[in-house]
Structure 1
Amino acid sequence: LIEIFDKLNATVPALRDSWAAQNMVPLSSLITDSYDIYATFPVKDMASLKNKRINAPGTSANWLRETGATPVDGALTTYYTNIQTGVTDGALSFASGIGPARVYEVAKNLTRIDIGAMYFGSVAVNKKVFDGLPKEVQDAMLKAGKATSVAHGKHVTKTANAALDTMKAAGLQITDLPAAEKAKWVNGLPNIVAPWLQGTGDAGKQVLKAYFDELRARGVKPLRDWDLQNR
Structure 2
Amino acid sequence: MLKFTGYVAAAIVSALCLASPVRADEAYPRLNFTYAHMVAANNALAKFDVRWMEIVEQRSGGRIKFKVFWSGAMGGPTEIPDLVGAGSVDFGSTALGYLPSQFPLSGVVGNMQRTFATPTDARKASMEIFSLPPVQAELTKANIVILNTTTANPYNLTCTKPIKTMEDLKGKRIRANGKYPPIFFNTFGASPQTIAFAEMYEGLEKGLIDCAWMSHDFAISSKLNEVAKFAIDLNLGAVPATQLLVNRKKFDGLPKKVQELLVSAAEQSSVDEAKYLAEVMTNTIKMDMPAKGMTYVHFEDEKKFVAAEPNMPKIWEKDIAAQGQPEAAKAIADILQKYRAKLVN
Secondary structure at the aligned position of 1:209 is classed as helix
Amino acid at match of 1:174: Y
1:78 aligns with 2:202: no
Secondary structure at the aligned position of 1:28 is classed as strand
Partner of 1:228: none
Deviation, structure 1 residue 162: 4.2
Amino acid at match of 1:206: A
Partner of 2:165: 45
Partner of 1:210: 335
Secondary structure at the aligned position of 2:309 is classed as helix
Amino acid at match of 2:154: S
Paired with 1:106 and 1:192, the residues of 2 have a C-alpha distance of 34
Q: Which has more radius of gyration?
A: 2
Partner of 1:24: 144
Task: State whether residues 62 and 192 of structure 1, in contact with CA within 8 Å, keep that contact through their aligned partners in structure 2.
Answer: no
Matching of residues 1-231 of structure 1 within 5 Å: 1-10=122-131, 12-58=132-178, 59-164=180-285, 165-178=287-300, 179-186=302-309, 192-193=315-316, 194-199=318-323, 200-213=325-338, 215=339, 220-223=341-344
Unaligned runs of 5+ in 2: 1-121
Secondary structure at the aligned position of 1:31 is classed as strand
Deviation, structure 1 residue 101: 1.5
Deviations 1:150-206 (A, max 9, x none): 2233344444444443233112111222322322441598x6433344335321221
RMSD: 2.5
TM-score (norm 1): 0.83
Aligned length: 219
Deviations 1:31-60 (A, max 9, x none): 221111111211121111122211122233
Paired with 2:242 and 2:326, the residues of 1 have a C-alpha distance of 21
Paired with 1:45 and 1:51, the residues of 2 have a C-alpha distance of 13
Higher relative contact order (CA 8 A, sep 6+): 1
Paired with 1:132 and 1:146, the residues of 2 have a C-alpha distance of 21
- Summarize the Cα distance change of 1:125–1:79 in structure 2 as closer, same or farther, 3 Å threshold: same
Secondary structure at the aligned position of 1:91 is classed as strand
Amino acid at match of 2:335: A
Partner of 1:227: none
Task: State whether residues 176 and 213 of structure 2, in contact with CA within 8 Å, keep that contact through their aligned partners in structure 1.
Answer: yes
Paired with 2:243 and 2:284, the residues of 1 have a C-alpha distance of 24
Task: State whether residues 6 and 146 of structure 1, in contact with CA within 8 Å, keep that contact through their aligned partners in structure 2.
Answer: no
